[in-house]
């Protein structure tokens, strides 16, 4: 009996719940069609898009240890890339995507080259400063609405697939999220990702081993910026509106909370964090207009209870469950 307990494969609660969550997300449109609930599609689409943005932040925050307080800059650039091109009559989605990737990667390369030469609070303040610079830049662009924002003329057209259609945008966002999670998994477990994670633990030792950690960190920063820009492109098609507020420091703070709430440095943490934060926010808003008084302490409880947020709680549950058979087998042997 003890041998069977020791050789029985250990099931991971986090893996099972993550798989179940993806299956449920894929079935949301079927639920919406069956119960004629179009709002749920819009709500979950928003969650998927912010999960993509949080996944991009998790690359540098969770795996790289880089606390960026201006990551919403790239979300806003993605929104404005689609809105401004649409304003000038360019609705080709592939071209909008190309411009989004080029702009976000270029801005990420420039800002990252400066910010990554610092660490700690200096890095946080520099990323915040760059985001605020672009925020006030778009506020001053009166041609594109300035502080009032810019309404998108039409949705992004990907060879006849227009993202303003709710189900089309939903499945596109879901597919992009799945691809992002897969790419993130492959990246962080590659040689490149191992160097990035190791530099988070001890950057000086990695430099002593001959690795140019600056180039590794800059590369992952640019990748993160480009992915967040893609989330911005999708978000612009969801809201059909571009506003400088999308790149404000408050939006950056929300992305950080999503990553921390779900679990920094975990693959599905950003998805769980975005889901928990947005659903809880919507639920509390339906109860009271002072929802932030309740929401704030809830975040503090989760983060202080588990170092890895919700995913950390699941991991602790797995560890506790796996220790029980081992303890039982040791008692039988004695």
CA distance 81 to 87: 10
- Residue 215 domain-assigned (yes or no): yes
In 3D space, the residue among 169, 173, 166 whose CA is nearest the CA of residue 22 turns out to be: 173
What pLDDT sits at residue 330?
54
Domain of residue 273 covers 18-333
CA 171 centroid distance within chain: 17
pTM given for the model: 0.90
- Residue 1 domain-assigned (yes or no): no
- Whether residue 169 is predicted with pLDDT greater than 80 in this model: the reply is yes
Q: With cut-offs at 50, 70 and 90, classify the pLDDT of residue 314.
A: confident
- Tell me the average pLDDT across 169-185: 95
What pLDDT sits at residue 334?
52
- Whether residue 327 is predicted with pLDDT greater than 60 in this model: the reply is no
What pLDDT sits at residue 332?
57
- Residue 11 domain-assigned (yes or no): no
Q: With cut-offs at 50, 70 and 90, classify the pLDDT of residue 182.
A: very high
The DSSP string of 15-73 is HHHHHHHHHHHHHHHHHHHHHT-HHHHHHHHHHHHHHHHHHHHHHHHTTT----S-THH
CA distance 170 to 227: 17
Number of domains observed in the structure of the chain: 1
Tokens of 263: 């679990």
- Residue 300 domain-assigned (yes or no): yes
Query: Residue 255 belongs to a domain with what CATH number?
Result: 1.10.3470
- Residue 118 domain-assigned (yes or no): yes
- Residue 39's contacts (CB-CB under 8 Å, 6 or more residues apart) are none
Q: Where do the DSSP E strands lie in the chain?
A: 150-151, 157-158, 161-162, 241-242
- Tell me the average pLDDT across 181-202: 93
CA distance 244 to 138: 6
Candidate from 116-120, 268-272, 298-302 with smallest mean pLDDT? 298-302
Contact criterion met (CB below 8 Å) for 5 and 327: no
Q: What is the pLDDT of residues 14-53, one digit of tens each?
A: 788 888 999 999 999 998 888 888 899 999 999 999 999 9
- Residue 92 domain-assigned (yes or no): yes
Q: What is the pLDDT of residues 205-217, one digit of tens each?
A: 998 888 889 999 9
Task: With H, G, I as helix, E, B as strand and everything else as coil, classify residue 289.
Answer: coil
The better pLDDT of the pair 312, 65 is held by: 65
The better pLDDT of the pair 71, 326 is held by: 71
What pLDDT sits at residue 295?
83
What are the phi and psi torsion angles at 161 (to 5°)? -95, 105
- Residue 7 domain-assigned (yes or no): no
CA distance 59 to 200: 12
Contact criterion met (CB below 8 Å) for 58 and 184: yes
What pLDDT sits at residue 254?
92
H or E segment at 324? helix 309-333
- Residue 180 domain-assigned (yes or no): yes
Q: What is the pLDDT of residues 211-265, one digit of tens each?
A: 889 999 999 999 999 999 999 999 999 999 999 999 999 999 999 999 999 889 8
């Amino acid at each position: 009996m003890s041998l069977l307990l020791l050789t029985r494969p250990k099931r991971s609660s986090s893996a099972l719940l993550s798989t179940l969550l993806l299956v449920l997300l894929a079935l949301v449109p079927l639920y919406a069609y069956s119960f004629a609930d179009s709002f749920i599609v819009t709500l979950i689409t928003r969650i998927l898009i912010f999960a993509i943005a949080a996944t991009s932040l998790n690359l540098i925050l969770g795996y790289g240890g880089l606390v960026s307080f201006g990551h919403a800059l790239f979300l806003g650039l993605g929104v404005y890339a689609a809105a401004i091109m649409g304003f000038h009559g360019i609705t080709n989605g592939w071209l909008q995507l190309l411009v989004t990737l080029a702009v976000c990667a270029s801005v990420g390369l420039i800002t990252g080259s400066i910010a990554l030469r610092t660490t700690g609070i200096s890095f946080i303040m520099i990323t915040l400063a760059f985001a605020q610079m672009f925020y006030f830049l778009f506020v001053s662009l009166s041609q594109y609405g300035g502080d009032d924002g810019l309404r998108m003329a039409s949705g992004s057209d990907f060879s006849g697939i227009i993202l303003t259609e709710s189900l089309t945008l939903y499945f596109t966002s879901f597919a992009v999220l799945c691809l992002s999670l897969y790419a993130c998994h492959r990246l962080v477990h590659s040689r490149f990702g191992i160097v990035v994670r190791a530099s988070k633990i001890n950057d000086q030792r990695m430099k002593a081993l001959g690795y140019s950690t600056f180039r590794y960190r800059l590369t992952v920063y640019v990748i993160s910026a480009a992915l967040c820009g893609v989330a911005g492109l999708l978000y612009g098609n969801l809201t059909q509106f571009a506003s400088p507020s999308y790149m404000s420091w408050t939006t950056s703070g929300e992305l950080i909370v999503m990553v921390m709430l779900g679990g920094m440095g975990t693959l599905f943490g950003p998805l769980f964090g975005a889901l928990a934060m947005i659903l809880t926010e919507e639920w509390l808003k339906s109860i009271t207009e002072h929802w932030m008084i309740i929401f704030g302490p809830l975040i503090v409880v989760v983060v202080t209870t588990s170092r890895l947020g919700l995913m950390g709680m699941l991991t602790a549950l797995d560890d506790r469950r796996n220790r029980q058979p081992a303890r039982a087998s040791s008692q039988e042997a004695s």
